[in-house]
Chains A and B, each alone.
Chain A
Amino acid sequence: MNNEAALPLECPIPISEYPRVTMAHGGGGRLMNDLVEGMMKKAFSNPALLAGHDGAVLDVPDGRQAFTTDSHVVTPIFFPGGDIGTLSVYGTVNDLAMCGARALWLSAGFIIEEGFPMEDLWKVVSSMAKAARKTGVEIVTGDTKVVDRGKGDGIYVNTAGIGVIREGVFVAPSMVRSGDAVVLSGDLGRHGVAIMAEREGIRFGTPVVSDLAPLGDVVLDLMNAGLEIHCMRDLTRGGLAGALNEIAGTADVTFSIEEELVKVTDAVAAACELLGFDPLYMPNEGRFVLVLPADEARKAVEVMRKHETCVYAGIIGRVSPREHVGVVMKSRIGSWRVVDMLSGEQLPRIC
């Protein structure tokens, strides 16, 4: 599926004519048509999109499907390890993968602020096209709106996606059982730190790069290995703490994890110490937790570690019957504490 050569390196529309996006690019007239035909359709090119209907007409395979949507509003738009375009494709493909589904089709909705550099728009669109090719998904329908200067944050991208679930696969929080093992796919917090460092102008000896990565392939390998996957969840905004609390709430269980087993790189740990953040709550874009029967956990870790994004995969805890709270953690010095959800967003502490 890796067919990046087919993508034009230069923007197919003459950027010099309109170096910035104008209100007319979302006005439904010739300029918008030029943008959609010249840029979006060339980059995303596939039969369903090129058919030019009001919506994509698709041949849907038999069986169960998964359907999800995600809006992306990241600042900065370009960050170490990716950009909003790549994020918008991987994010939705990953959400589908967590349902045990293989992503087939995406929609792409752009809300662009007047004055946004056309060259940056092209970078975002080509990142989306590359990410789509890499993950074997087609962007089959879309929408472009332009809002007045000052009423947006450069660009917002919404994607929705449809994926197919193979027969016999049933992955859901309600499948989680007491006695299951919890596997974490890698180190925590790199996306959050990469974004924060960029925003705050913090420099590291070696820059922290976002963990942004597609998870479809590793999930496919896990299913092909015949493992009885009970639940998967990617760790996005609320981090590991948020994901485990959500699952625990739905499944009515308690997760016990061990801090010692949760991998955090030195750079991320140092940045979190400095900024007063907790890696358990830091956002990630290429990490997930897997809950499955304890006797299958080691095999799952083996399968996962074959993938570049999962080299630090490991068992971090277990599931037990519900006792008051969703998640408890054994601290490094051997005592237990509750790992709650954040009440709002994580705010830097004073000292």
Chain B
Amino acid sequence: MKYVSEYRNAETAGRYAEAIAAAVTGPWKIMEICGGQTHSIVKYGIDRLLPDELTLIHGPGCPVCVTPVEMVDQAVRLASMEGIVFCSFGDMLRVPGSTDDLMGVKSGGGDVRVVYSPMDAVAIAENNPDREVVFFAVGFETTAPVTAAAVLQAERLGLGNFSMLVAHVLVPPAMELILSGKENVVDGFLAAGHVCTVMGYREYEPMAEKYGVPIVVTGFEPLDILEGILMCVRQLERGTTSVENQYVRVVTRDGNVTAMDMIRRVFQVTDRKWRGLGTIPDSGLKLRKRYAAFDAGRKFGVGGHSVEESESCMAGSVLMGRIKPGECPAFGTECTPERPLGAPMVSAEGACAAYYRYRPYGNPGGESA
């Protein structure tokens, strides 16, 4: 497939792996931020091509996983209400709240629909003026512009029956939380290519300088990730700490200015609780006052409660890179994708779910692995 298969070439992958092995001397820990990257790494076995001195740590970059239980509970309550059409991205449906998930609401008769874009939800609202349509706005900076566009479109159309539950989160504050922690083990970052497609990478420059870590904006295909790792390793070996861009075919330093303007027009930054990590200051987006009419939480009076997360779940340590998924005692026993205890087991992009799916028993393939 054009523009994809070129980035999955075994021969080139082998050459990158050799170059990485040749460049590495010290033990380095590199964190890939985005869940999409974690998925590729585990799916293609990229970490198996790397030398022992190099450890990949899977970061908190799965927006589905980090959506707090409280927000899922609000979604469940909204979706259960008479007359509401609740629209969500597919992988939010199985995320457990404290008592139920959206899949359960659907099977109990709730009108829960999977959409591919918030614009689909706007269209449903337009075509069903007698129904209330709520969109579950989940995602990082990547999906925020489209959510903003949906609000603006709904306003333009004068739709009084469209609203959203906003769970958007921002990547840099989470990276900062990890770096500023006393127990930080991360030596370098692969920044999330899609987030940077929207936001550019200027905002990472002060962080790289302040904490003395190299940050490489990286794509999602196997060769992107291998090249990103190589660039990061070379910086670590040289002792440099700059922001570099591997994903040049998509990302620019300034990002997509129009998309950023849209986000700023519709949303404002707010504190947000992350599943597994707790509340991170200035790490979420909420609707500006001008667009408060589109706030489903306010419109239908849901929210305001707090939920304790499972004690046996070590999601926080996994997301901070202190342990690998398999090192959690609940992994694969008490906690499985069918009955997840914590964030990273929830979505296919979560580190625990990716490990469970692709390597539940360690090393497949025997001698060839």
Distance in Å: Cβ of B2 to nearest Cβ of chain A: 8
6 contacts between A and B (CB under 8 A): A266-B2, A325-B364, A333-B14, A335-B48, A347-B94, A349-B349
- Asked whether any CB of chain A lies closer than 8 Å to the CB of B13, the reply is yes
* Bound Cα distance from A290 to B245, whole angstroms: 47
Contact B4 A325, beta carbon cutoff 8 Å: no
CB closest residue in chain A, given B223: A333
How extensive is the interface on chain A, given as a class?
20 to 34
- Asked whether any CB of chain B lies closer than 8 Å to the CB of A340, the reply is yes
Distance in Å: Cβ of B51 to nearest Cβ of chain A: 14
**Residues of B with C-beta under 8 A to A347:** 90-91, 93-94, 114
**Residues of A with C-beta under 8 A to B1:** 266, 269-270, 273
* Bound Cα distance from A107 to B90, whole angstroms: 37
Question: 8 Å CB contacts to A: which residues of B100-119?
Answer: 103, 114, 116
With A324-B361, A340-B357, A344-B338: A335-B369 Cβ-Cβ less than 8 Å? yes
Question: 8 Å CB contacts to A: which residues of B312-369?
Answer: 336-338, 347-349, 356-366, 368-369
Contact B94 A344, beta carbon cutoff 8 Å: yes
**Residues of A with C-beta under 8 A to B116:** 200, 275, 348
- Specify which of A269, A333, A350 is in contact with B13 (CB 8 Å cutoff): A333
Contact with A along B12-38 (1 / 0, CB 8 A): 011000000000000000000001100
Contact with A along B73-99 (1 / 0, CB 8 A): 000000000000000011111100000
* Bound Cα distance from A269 to B9, whole angstroms: 16
**Residues of B with C-beta under 8 A to A328:** 364-365
Distance in Å: Cβ of A195 to nearest Cβ of chain B: 14
CB closest residue in chain B, given A270: B1
Hey, which bits of chain B sit against chain A, CB under 8 A?
Answer: 1-2, 4, 8-10, 13-14, 35-36, 42-46, 48-49, 63-64, 89-94, 103, 114, 116, 138-140, 142-143, 194, 222, 336-338, 347-349, 356-366, 368-369
* Bound Cα distance from A62 to B202, whole angstroms: 79
- Specify which of B143, B337, B368 is in contact with A336 (CB 8 Å cutoff): B368
With A332-B10, A348-B91, A350-B139: A338-B46 Cβ-Cβ less than 8 Å? no
- Specify which of A256, A266, A331, A343 is in contact with B45 (CB 8 Å cutoff): A331
* Bound Cα distance from A330 to B363, whole angstroms: 12
Contact A338 B357, beta carbon cutoff 8 Å: yes
- Asked whether any CB of chain B lies closer than 8 Å to the CB of A334, the reply is yes
Contact B49 A338, beta carbon cutoff 8 Å: no
The A-B contact count (CB < 8 A) is 124
- Specify which of A332, A340, A351 is in contact with B142 (CB 8 Å cutoff): A351
Contact B44 A349, beta carbon cutoff 8 Å: no
Distance in Å: Cβ of B62 to nearest Cβ of chain A: 9
Contact with B along A318-342 (1 / 0, CB 8 A): 0000011100101111111110100
- Asked whether any CB of chain B lies closer than 8 Å to the CB of A27, the reply is no
Known A-B contacts: A333-B10, A344-B103, A347-B94. Give 17 more (CB < 8 A).
Answer: A266-B1, A266-B2, A269-B4, A273-B4, A331-B44, A331-B45, A332-B9, A333-B44, A335-B45, A337-B359, A338-B359, A338-B361, A338-B364, A349-B89, A349-B90, A349-B91, A350-B90
**Residues of A with C-beta under 8 A to B36:** 351
With A328-B365, A335-B44: A276-B358 Cβ-Cβ less than 8 Å? no
**Residues of B with C-beta under 8 A to A325:** 360-361, 364
* Bound Cα distance from A336 to B358, whole angstroms: 9
* Bound Cα distance from A28 to B44, whole angstroms: 59
The 10 A-B pairs with the shortest beta carbon distances in the complex, nearest first, are A335-B45, A336-B365, A348-B90, A347-B90, A333-B13, A324-B361, A328-B364, A337-B358, A331-B44, A335-B48
Distance in Å: Cβ of B42 to nearest Cβ of chain A: 7
With A276-B90, A351-B139: A338-B360 Cβ-Cβ less than 8 Å? yes
CB closest residue in chain A, given B103: A344
**Residues of A with C-beta under 8 A to B140:** 351
Contact B89 A348, beta carbon cutoff 8 Å: yes
* Bound Cα distance from A260 to B10, whole angstroms: 10
CB closest residue in chain A, given B2: A266
**Residues of A with C-beta under 8 A to B13:** 333-334
With A270-B1, A337-B42, A338-B359: A330-B365 Cβ-Cβ less than 8 Å? yes
* Bound Cα distance from A269 to B360, whole angstroms: 26
* Bound Cα distance from A328 to B365, whole angstroms: 6
* Bound Cα distance from A324 to B359, whole angstroms: 10
CB closest residue in chain B, given A273: B4
With A335-B45, A337-B358, A340-B360: A349-B194 Cβ-Cβ less than 8 Å? no
Distance in Å: Cβ of B275 to nearest Cβ of chain A: 15
- Specify which of A200, A270, A335, A340 is in contact with B49 (CB 8 Å cutoff): A335
